[in-house]
Amino acid sequence: MKKVFYVLGGLVVLYFVVALFAKSNVTVERSQLIKASHTDAMKALGDFQHFHNYWSPWTEIEPDMKASFDGTPGTVGHKYLWEGKKDSVGVGEMIIDSTTENNIFQTVHFIKPMESIVKSYFTTESIGDSTKITWGMNFSFAFFMRPIMLFMDFDKMLGTSLEYGLQRLKSKLESKDTVYRGYNVQLVDFEERHYAGIRKTQKFADLGSFFSGNFEKIPASLAKSNVAPAGPMASMYFFWDEKNGVTDCAALMQVADSKSVDGLEIISVKPGKAVKVAYFGAPDKSMEAYYAIDDYLKANNLKDTMALEEYITDKTKEPDTTKWLTNIYFILK
C-alpha cells in the first residue's frame, strides 16, 4: 500500500512541477494582406454584424444560430451575442474593449458548453494600396490546467479557423463591393421592373400603419384582377423631408408588366444603375444602411432618384429579425 501512496504522491509532485513550468498562456495569430484601404479594413473589423454575416469562420458551422448586436460598430462597448447548439458553436458574447488608430481589442466570453474568457485582437498595417491584417487570440490557463494544455495544439486547432475567416474577409473587401459603416455597398445593374401599389405623401409617424395596411390590401387587389405577383413586397421613397417629417412613398408588390390593375397604381423603374445594400435586420432599424449608401454616393459623386426596399424574407415564417433580408436600392440618375 505504501508503494501506491509513493507512486500517487510522485505523480502529484510531477503534475505540480509540470504546472509550475508550463506556459500560462498561448497566443494564436494569423495574418493576411488584403487589397483594401485602411479605413475600409478597420470599418469591417469593428462591425460585429458584418463579421457575423460575411466572414466569421463559425457562422458557416451553424448558420441558424441566434445572433444579436448592441452598441455602435467600431466603438468601445459594441457587442455581439450568439446562441447556438451546445455541441456546435455554443453560447457566448464578444465586446470591443478598446481601439486605437490601427488596433481593435476585444474580450470573447464563452458561456456554454464551458465558460472561459479569451482576449482577441486585430492589428492593421498599411502597405501601399493594401492593408495587412493580423488576427490574434490569447488564452490564459489556470495553474492546474496547464499540464493538460500541453497535449492540445491550439495553434493548429484555432489557426485554421483564423486563416479561413481572414480569407473570407479578403474576398469580401477585394470584391467590387465597398464597405461603408460596415455594410457592403454595391454598384449594380438594375433591370426594368414593374410594381403595383398605393402611393401617398405620409407623415413619418404614420408610415407603420400606411405600409402594414396596404401590404394587406395589395395581394387581394391583384387577385381580384387575376394578376400574379412577380416578386416580393416592396416600398419606394421618392423624397424624404426631415424638416417637415413627411415623405412621398409607395407600398408595392412586383408584377410582370405595366398593365393596369384596378385600385392600384403601376410604377415602372427603367433599367439602369443602382447602388445596393443587402440589409439583415428589422426594416425600422435600417437607417445605418441608408447612411452607408449616402456615404458611397457622396464619395463617388453620384445622384439618386428614389430609394427602393425589397422585403425578401417571409416574416411569417422567420421570427428572428436578424435574419430578415431587405435589399435596399438607390436608383441612380
Which among 175, 207, 233 is the end of a domain? 175
Is there a domain that residue 182 lies in?
A: no
**What pLDDT does 15 receive?**
41
Q: Assess if residue 5 is contained within a domain.
A: no
- Residue 91 domain-assigned? yes
How many separate domains does the chain show? 2
Note whether 212 and 171 are same-domain residues.
Answer: no
**275 with 224, same domain?**
yes
Cis peptide before 113 (omega within 30 of 0): yes
Are both 320 and 245 inside the same structural domain? yes
318 domain-assigned? yes
Instruction: Give domain status of residue 231, yes or no.
Output: yes
Considering Cα of 209, then 211, then 212, then 215, what sign does the dihedral take?
A: positive
pLDDT tens, residue order, the chain (333 aa): 555 444 444 444 444 444 344 455 678 899 999 998 898 899 999 999 889 988 998 887 888 889 999 999 999 999 999 998 866 788 999 999 999 999 999 999 988 887 788 899 999 999 998 999 999 998 765 544 544 555 556 677 778 889 999 999 998 888 756 778 888 898 899 999 999 999 999 999 999 999 999 999 999 999 999 999 999 999 999 999 989 999 999 999 999 999 989 999 999 999 999 999 999 998 888 999 999 999 888 878 889 999 999 999 988 888 888 889 999 999 998
Same domain? 29 vs 151: yes
What CATH number does residue 59 fall under? Answer: 3.30.530.20
* 11 occurs within a structural domain: no
How far is it, in rounded angstroms, from Cα 189 to Cα 157? 42
Of the candidates 150, 175, 200, which is a domain's last residue? Answer: 175
212 and 314 in a single domain? The answer is: yes
Main-chain phi, psi angles of 64, to 5 degrees: -90, 10
Give residue 300's domain range: 187-332
- Distant-in-sequence, close-in-space partners of 237: CB < 8 Å, separation ≥ 6: 247, 248, 249, 306, 307, 308
Three-state SS at 331: strand
User: Domain boundary at 175, 205, 234, which?
Assistant: 175
Q: Is 15 inside a domain boundary?
A: no
- Tell me: do 45 and 90 sit in the same domain: yes
State whether 24 and 150 are in the same domain. Answer: yes
Residue 10 lies inside a defined structural domain of this protein:
no
Q: Are residues 144 and 270 in the same domain?
A: no
| Same-domain status, 40 and 135 | yes
Q: What's at 281, amino acid-wise?
A: G
Same structural domain for residues 235 and 192? yes
Are 228 and 86 contained in the same domain?
Answer: no
Give the domain CATH number at 274. 3.20.80.10
